[in-house]
Amino acid sequence: RSEQVLELQSQRTMAAVEHLREEARSAPSSKSPSRTGGDLGLVNRGGFHRLRGGAGRHRVSVLMPLRDAGRALRQTLPLLFDQKAAAELELIGADSASEDDTVDVLKEFDATVISIDPAEFDHGLTRNLLAEHARGDVLVFLNERSRPADDGWLAPLLESLDSDPRVAGASSRVLPHPDADPLTRRDVALEPSGSPARWVK
């Protein structure tokens, strides 16, 4: 019965997506809405980098919405590019008019940089915009406050995707930063994403 319900939901979702595509195709081309609702532009086109595990079957696109994240990126990006995973990785950042060195740090790590209007930032639409610029077959979403706990963070996520063709996505366990205050540590411990138990949905 569950499989029938899921199949029905899948058919309805695909029909709704096709309806939206038809509406988009029939809309006047003279006034095409921006994905973010504001000005955007490609500031820099980065490349792929081979990780420490060597060549593999996957090209991974790490997608990050950012604003004034230069300091955090200097901690996060070395950890990303030092992963022991058999894959190539590209980094794509959507910058919302940062006033620090966020864009410079992204360029330093050969990342793709997209400029967006901060007044029209939207969590979902901005991530959709990032995905549109991705060239990888695996998309990894991070925010500026999140970083890999160690160099073995990415490989298990890719393994989860490869181990079962029914798996559409995988997520990491969320841990507090080492210098987090007691209340933050408590909040993380109470979140399902902070549990050491593995969930399959």
Write the pLDDT tens digit of every residue in 160-172: 999 999 999 999 9
The model's confidence at residue 199, banded by pLDDT at 50, 70 and 90, is confident
66-83 pLDDT, tens per residue? 999 999 999 999 999 999
What's the pLDDT at 32?
Answer: 36
pLDDT at 155 over 60: yes
Identify the band that residue 27 occupies on the pLDDT scale cut at 50, 70 and 90. low
Give the confidence band of 12 by pLDDT, cuts at 50, 70, 90: confident
Q: How many residues does the chain have?
A: 201
Tokens representing residue 170 in the block: 């995988």
**Residue 5 clears pLDDT 70, i.e. is over it:** no
- Within 13 A of 91's CA, how many CA atoms are on the CB side? 26
Distance CA 45, CA 62 (A): 14
Q: Higher model confidence: residue 8 or residue 71?
A: 71
Q: Say if residue 127's pLDDT is above 50.
A: yes
